[in-house]
Structure 1
Amino acid sequence: MKWSELCIHTTNEAIEPISNILHETGASGLVIEDPMDLEREHPTTFGEVFELNPDEYPEEGVYIKAYLPVNSFLGETVDEIKQAINNLMLYDIDLGRNHISLSEVHEEEWATAWKKYYKPVKISKHITIIPTWEEYTPVDTDEVIIELDPGMAFGTGTHPTTVLSIQALEQFLADGNTVIDVGSGSGVLSIASALLGARQVYAYDLDDVAVKSTGLNAKLNKLDQQIQVKQNNLLDNVNIEADVIVSNILAEIIVRFVKEAWNNLKPGGYFITSGIIQNKKQLVKTELESQGFQIVEMNEMEEWISIVAQKV
């Protein structure tokens, strides 16, 4: 089968929403090429990427690459993707150059080449994420391993927004807690919650691809009894007494369900939000405080912000 590589030249801010658009349209093998990766130090014992070629990276912004089958619907699919990306400007998302190009590749090339970007990586004090095709021996006795299959649309949980979320879970989640994961994606935050001591995790995502991915990865980590996965729009019609709600999605989406998060949290419960770009920090903070949340801490990694708020 022939495939087309779709390359979108955009900004860090647009990575999350564009990635979502791509997997909703059935694109496969998503890869992010960020020139900041060239400046980072990559440990020899574990790391997300290795042997990077500077020629493959833009001088500014990022490349988002995905793969579409060459068929009679290719033109329509690309047009649909372009329109959806352009619509992101309505949410004040900076798209940068917003240049899209297509090139042809063969199936055997992309089916294995994109995996080179994913290696075991320790993302927090205790948690190490390993892709399913990699062998890994823990280096610490208290190391917690998450095995993840990124499948056709998801990364391996090492994006700064995910790292910030997991670091907050390590700090604020207690044994026996009930957790709600809003916008579960690959399920990495649900799995991390269960491994960190949550008694029950409720994972919600509107996209059926994400629901299947969360379910698959929960089984892969033998946590499918602890993690209940359901297709749902944010917290619509959800009535659960949770100790922690975690959500790693766009700031514009977070502010839509702050009231529902408050209603589903026990007194003293924590609302962990991530996926917030720097210039949207105040938007989320203001909405949380207007609902009655107390801001416990705000953390930053690269251009991304996470906010931990408590129901007091």
Structure 2
Amino acid sequence: MWLELRLQIDPRDSDLVADLLAQCCPRLAVEIDNGEEGQPRAFVKIYVPQEDLTALKRSLRLALRFVPLSCTPKWHRARRLREERWHKAWRRHFRPQLIGSVLVKPPWSKKKGQPGQVTLQIEPGMAFGTGTHPTTALCLHAVQKLIFPGARVLDVGTGTGILAIAAAKLGATYALALDIDAEAVKAALGNVEANGVADTVKVCHGTLTPNILQEGPFHLVIANLDRETIRRLGPLMTAALAPGGYLVVSGFLSETVAELTPLLATYGLRHHQDMMQDGWAAIVMVKDA
């Protein structure tokens, strides 16, 4: 069950609150409704899984205490969100976009890719990953640089399946896509079928475990997750890599790079590249042959 959490703010604070939310809840859909010009209030709408509501509100309340807002924000009662309202929220924000040579478009768009471009049709469902967030875009750029014909790919926290699907369309012969969220798995399965890569991409409900290593080794492992999950799964992701393979991690702000890179190096990986966009980061590590 998903909820719509509404926060009433002064319109002058919209940009500030939007930046704060991008850091606190990067994997959630967020809307800023400034209303009509001249109105004394605006609303922030956050779409959050019911089980995450209490922790998210606690984090946001604490973060807002240290932000110089024009007036004190007012929380409104969370409302249950029907699936069709989730889709409407995404439709307002999800438009076709070109990321490198990959065109990411929703099913309702009639835009066609140009020669030399790879087109991905992504229906978000109730999952994360449409390319609109910088971390997804950074991972897509990395996939385009690192993939090669015949590659085997592991996508941990696949969301909509966008990265695994991109890898398949760019030449991978096998991609294993994992997610602990049943709604994400549902969305990913639909997108895999819609993009014609069901023979290449395998979607599974669950996380990376030692048993999954039997599916490897993988030439490319991608994890667009939060920092703590990357830390916890780091040793297993390294073990899943073939010699000479690459690990791409994202889902964190740029200041985290200095902390996370040496940690990943302790697992036997060598730093290859940092990628930055709008304050967000991705780290590319390589497992020496």
Instruction: Tell me: CA distance 1:197–1:4, structure 2 relative to 1, closer, same or farther (3 Å).
Output: closer
2:195 aligned to which of 216, 221, 227:
221
AA paired with 1:206? I
In the TM superposition, what is the alpha-carbon distance from 1:173 to its structure 2 partner? Answer: 1.2
> Aligned partners of 2:160, 2:102: CA distance in 1, in Å?
16
Q: Does 1:136 align with 2:111?
A: yes
**Length, aligned pairs only:** 265
Instruction: Tell me: CA distance 1:53–1:111, structure 2 relative to 1, closer, same or farther (3 Å).
Output: farther
Task: Structure 1: give runs of 5+ residues left out of the alignment.
Answer: 20-29, 36-51, 69-76
1:192 aligned to which of 166, 176, 185:
166
Instruction: Tell me: CA distance 1:270–1:103, structure 2 relative to 1, closer, same or farther (3 Å).
Output: closer
Cα deviation digits, residues 233-260 of structure 1 (max 9, x gap): 2344211110000111111111111111
> Aligned partners of 2:124, 2:265: CA distance in 1, in Å?
35
> Aligned partners of 2:210, 2:45: CA distance in 1, in Å?
31
> Aligned partners of 1:284, 1:99: CA distance in 2, in Å?
36
In the TM superposition, what is the alpha-carbon distance from 1:113 to its structure 2 partner? Answer: 6.0
Partner of 1:293: 269
Equivalent residues in 2 for 1:1-312 (5 A)?
5-7=4-6, 10-16=20-26, 19=28, 30-33=29-32, 63-66=44-47, 77=50, 81-86=52-57, 95-96=63-64, 100-102=75-77, 112=88, 114-124=90-100, 126-138=101-113, 140-154=114-128, 156-239=130-213, 240-312=216-288
| 160-169 or 256-265, larger mean C-alpha shift | 256-265
> Aligned partners of 2:199, 2:157: CA distance in 1, in Å?
19
CA contact (8 A) 2:129 2:159 kept: no
Instruction: Tell me: CA distance 1:148–1:296, structure 2 relative to 1, closer, same or farther (3 Å).
Output: same
Identity %: 28
CA contact (8 A) 1:123 1:158 kept: no
In the TM superposition, what is the alpha-carbon distance from 1:211 to its structure 2 partner? Answer: 1.1
RMSD: 3.4
> Aligned partners of 1:161, 1:134: CA distance in 2, in Å?
23
Partner of 2:10: none
Partner of 1:26: none
> Aligned partners of 1:235, 1:297: CA distance in 2, in Å?
27
In the TM superposition, what is the alpha-carbon distance from 1:53 to its structure 2 partner? Answer: 8.1
- TM-score (normalised: structure 2): 0.79
Task: Structure 2: give runs of 5+ residues left out of the alignment.
Answer: 8-16, 66-72
In the TM superposition, what is the alpha-carbon distance from 1:287 to its structure 2 partner? Answer: 1.3
AA paired with 1:282? A
- TM-score (normalised: structure 1): 0.74
AA paired with 1:227? V
SS of the equivalent of 2:24 reads: helix
Relative contact order, CA 8 A, sep 6+: which one is greater?
1
SS of the equivalent of 2:272 reads: strand
> Aligned partners of 1:136, 1:109: CA distance in 2, in Å?
24
> Aligned partners of 1:87, 1:67: CA distance in 2, in Å?
13
Instruction: Tell me: CA distance 1:270–1:64, structure 2 relative to 1, closer, same or farther (3 Å).
Output: farther
Instruction: Tell me: CA distance 1:109–1:256, structure 2 relative to 1, closer, same or farther (3 Å).
Output: closer
